[in-house]
Amino acid sequence: MSDIYQHFRKDEEPFIDQVLEWKQIVADQYRMKLTDFLDPREQVILNSLVGQPDEVKLGFFGGFSEAERKRAILYPEYAEPSAEDFQLQAYEVLYPQKFASIEHRELLGSLMGIGLKRQKFGDLIYAGGIWQFVCSEEVADFVFSQLGQIGKVKVSLEKIPLSKLKVPEQDVEIMDDTVSSLRLDSVCSAVSRLSRQKAQALVKNGLVKVNWKVIEDPSYSLAEGDKLSVRGFGRFTLKSIDGKTKKGKWRLTFEKQK
């Protein structure tokens, strides 16, 4: 068991334990196991712990193919999950768009304010003044009955099929770089084109988030699937770690959101 943990960060161990428990349930009971919404890093961990040749298979879906947050289904070999098995519900937020505006943080804060965890919600989508979001089917009716205001704006919700989601166009720039280490300050230096010293100051001043959490430790180690937000420089996804160069530097591939 300790051999598994050594490939991951200390703070990821509880999630690893959860994944191993899910996997055991599927293997022992020959039934599907549906998870809550997972962020990209959690998806990478789950994918690495449930191998392709394994008796337990794995599928992801978040309402549309480009979704960032997705639910996962672990299932036995004989089963083949459908889109309905992921139990997703989409909503459109109705509000007076000509007289009011809603920010992403306000919508997310209001959803959390009704007493549900972030894991019950998928992507929040904004297009042409319209806000939509995806949630777990099991909490859909509760969300519908409880969400009546976002910030100072009175709102109502309309159930919509997943096919009506206004999927945003993916406008990303692929970046390849090499870094001396996977430390947060080193990677921040690469994506921001700042010196290591200046990047370290950004981290220590609370201007850098990893997977939506402020991390102030410059030595924090990054991993595949991590979302990196550097204030003033944008959002990046560490898509892959592609081994080392002859000089011992790490080859990395990023996606930068434009």
End-to-end CA distance of the chain: 41
The answer on pLDDT for 77 being more than 90 is no
Mean pLDDT, all residues of the chain: 92
The answer on pLDDT for 1 being more than 60 is no
Which pLDDT value is given to residue 53? 64
Q: Are 74 and 22 in contact (CB under 8 A)?
A: yes
Quick check: do 88-164 and 172-257 share a fold?
no
Fold of 2-85: Ribosomal Protein S8; Chain: A, domain 1 (3.30.1370)
The answer on pLDDT for 133 being more than 80 is yes
- 37-48: average pLDDT: 92
Q: Are 32 and 79 in contact (CB under 8 A)?
A: yes
What does the alpha-carbon distance between residue 88 and residue 70 come to, in Å, rounded to a whole number?
10
What does the alpha-carbon distance between residue 33 and residue 17 come to, in Å, rounded to a whole number?
15
pLDDT tens per residue, range 208-243: 999 888 999 999 999 998 999 999 999 899 999 999
- CATH says 88-164 is which class? alpha beta
Least confident of 30-44, 162-176, 188-202: 162-176
> Which residue did the predictor score with more confidence, 54 or 23?
23
Q: What is the pTM of this model?
A: 0.82
Instruction: Name the amino acid, one letter, at 237.
Output: T
Nearest CA to 160 out of 95, 63, 231, 236 is that of: 63
- Rounded to 5 degrees, φ, ψ at 145 are -80, -25
User: Of all helices (H) and strands (E), which one includes residue 257?
Assistant: strand 250-257
- Number of residues that this document lists for the chain: 258
Which pLDDT value is given to residue 52? 64
The answer on pLDDT for 79 being more than 60 is yes
Nearest CA to 117 out of 35, 58, 60, 43 is that of: 35
Q: Domain boundaries in the chain?
A: 2-85, 88-164, 172-257
What does the alpha-carbon distance between residue 201 and residue 252 come to, in Å, rounded to a whole number?
22
Using DSSP, state whether 108 is helix, strand or coil. Answer: helix
pLDDT tens per residue, range 50-61: 966 678 999 999
Burial class of residue 37 in the structure, from the number of CB atoms within 10 Å of its CB (0-12 exposed, 13-18 middle, 19+ buried): buried
- The CA–CA distances, whole Å, from 204 to 211, 219, 228, 232 equal 17, 11, 15, 15
Q: Are 198 and 191 in contact (CB under 8 A)?
A: no
Least confident of 48-52, 125-129, 135-139, 215-219: 48-52
- CATH says 172-257 is which class? alpha beta
Which pLDDT value is given to residue 212? 81
Q: Are 39 and 68 in contact (CB under 8 A)?
A: yes
